[in-house]
Amino acid sequence: MKKIISIVIVLFFAGAAFLVFGFGSVENFDRDSIGEVVNEITDKKEDKIEEVKLDFEKYDELSEYVANNPEPEKIIVTSTSTNSLGEIVYSTSTKIIEEEHLYPVKDAVYPKAGAILPFNRIIAYYGNFYSTRMGILGEFEEEEVLRRLQEEIDIWNEADPKIPALPAIHYIASTAQGQPGEEGLYTLRMPDEHIEKAIAMAEKINGITFLDLQIGLSTIERELPYIEEHLKNPIVHLAIDPEFSMKSGDRPGTVIGHFTDDDINFVINRLSEIVRENDLPPKVLVLHRFTQKMIRNYENIKPTEEVQVVVHMDGWGSPGRKVGTYNYIVAPEPIQFTGFKIFYGNDLKEEPHRLITPKELLELQPNPVYLQYQ
């Protein structure tokens, strides 16, 4: 037993001595190389940060491009005078008249890196899986919907090669109702499996998804939490429809509803929190609009670096009627970006019984960067 204890003591001191001398030599040997490793990791980290920075120059360039502002007007002024010999001398000068333009919106905040707009033009198919009357998503089987959407993507990429078309599935996640329902709120929330189906459709085409809320007699503060878990997905964005926000207490569809700046800023701020908390790229928020009163106090609505805002012209009719609504209701009250809706059925009811074309939409000032087909 004593022999065993002696062996253990010897091994203990031998090991301790090795650790002391070994650690000292390793420390002296590795200090520089450890520093190099740390520097290398830091450099790689900085490179990674550099890669995901917003391209401010490209952002400004494309913002000006979609604003579609006319060139400054040039006026040639001719004047006459006489020289010392009494001869008439003609001289000309050029006067440039600069107009004040509404777009790009002045003092607008730059988005975080990963922003969709204006680097892409969103082409969205709209609807609800329960209804064939609410849009194309409910009219056809999934394969046919995606085939038709790809056709529109190809048309837009040909019409404007400068800004790539990005496909989107725009799904109505809560629909306004003619009956009060169990809660008396005149809104019906869609099941999660339908929302997940819409997201899966977008994933198949490398696109994005919009979840649209028609809140009825509820409030946006009450309804938004029902889809917040889905909004943590980086490809899922949001739309809210003032038409069916019935602050008056009327049944949806009997009068046109509205959102205030407080409602919309609440949504922007909550979306911003979701982006920050989950380290997501910026979200896009789409606001439907076809009357002046649907969005109140637009000048107080403030996009953030986490949320880009699109005001979307949602009226139907002939190309002339729709452009008029866009020019008199949407474009004159700038928030950030604009959108435009095309109804495959209703837009054919008025003469000249045709849909507005991408070429005509690209002539608008500003160009819409979000196009929705219903």
- The amino acid that residue 148 corresponds to is R
* Amino acid 86: pLDDT: 73
Q: What is the pTM of this model?
A: 0.82
CB 290 within 8 A of CB 343: no
Q: How far apart are CA 330 and CA 326, in angstroms?
A: 5
Residue 80 pLDDT: 67
Q: Name residues whose C-beta falls within 8 Å of residue 157's C-beta, 6 or more positions apart in sequence.
A: 164, 165
Specify the pLDDT at position 250.
96
Print burial letters for 84-104: b (CB count within 10 Å at least 16), e (below 16): eeeeeeeeeeeeeeeeebebb
- Over its length of 374 residues, how does the chain's per-residue pLDDT go in tens digits? 444 444 433 334 444 443 333 434 333 434 344 345 435 544 544 444 445 799 999 999 999 999 999 866 566 666 667 767 777 776 666 555 557 899 999 988 999 999 999 999 999 999 999 999 999 999 999 999 999 999 999 999 999 999 999 999 999 999 999 999 999 999 999 999 999 999 999 999 999 999 999 999 999 999 999 999 999 999 999 999 999 999 999 999 999 999 999 999 999 999 999 999 999 999 999 999 999 999 999 999 999 999 999 999 999 999 999 999 999 999 999 999 999 999 999 999 999 999 999 999 999 999 999 999 99
Angle subtended at Cα 241 by Cα 237 and Cα 247, rounded to the nearest 5 degrees: 135
Segment 232-286, tens digit of pLDDT: 999 999 999 999 999 999 999 999 999 999 999 999 999 999 999 999 999 999 9
Residue 283 to residue 117: CA distance in whole angstroms:
10
* CA 338, chain centre distance (Å): 10
Relative to beta strand 88-97, strand 73-82 is antiparallel
Beta-strand runs (E) in the chain: 73-82, 88-97, 121-127, 165-176, 187-189, 208-213, 236-240, 283-289, 307-313, 337-342, 370-373
The confidence score (pLDDT) of residue 72 equals 60
Question: For the residues of 96-161, what is the DSSP string, one character each?
Answer: EEPPP---SPTTPPPPPTT--TTTSEEEEEEEBTTBSSS-GGGTS-HHHHHHHHHHHHHHHHHH-T
Please work out, in degrees rounded to the nearest 5, the angle formed at the alpha carbon of residue 272 by the alpha carbons of 266 and 273.
95
- Token pair in block for residue 162: 């400068």
Q: Which of 295, 307, 291, 373 lies closest to 340, judged by CA?
A: 373
Tokens (6 digits) for 348: 């054919």
CA distance 181 to 197: 25
**Which residue bears the tokens 């609009």?**
289
The pLDDT of residue 62: 97
Give the per-residue pLDDT at 3.
41
- Give the CA count within 13 Å in the CB-facing half-sphere of 110: 13
> Would you state the pLDDT for residue 96?
56
Question: What phi and psi, each to the nearest 5 degrees, are found at residue 157?
Answer: -65, -30
**Alpha-carbon distance 277 to 234, whole Å?**
12
Q: Domain 121-373 - what CATH class? A: alpha beta
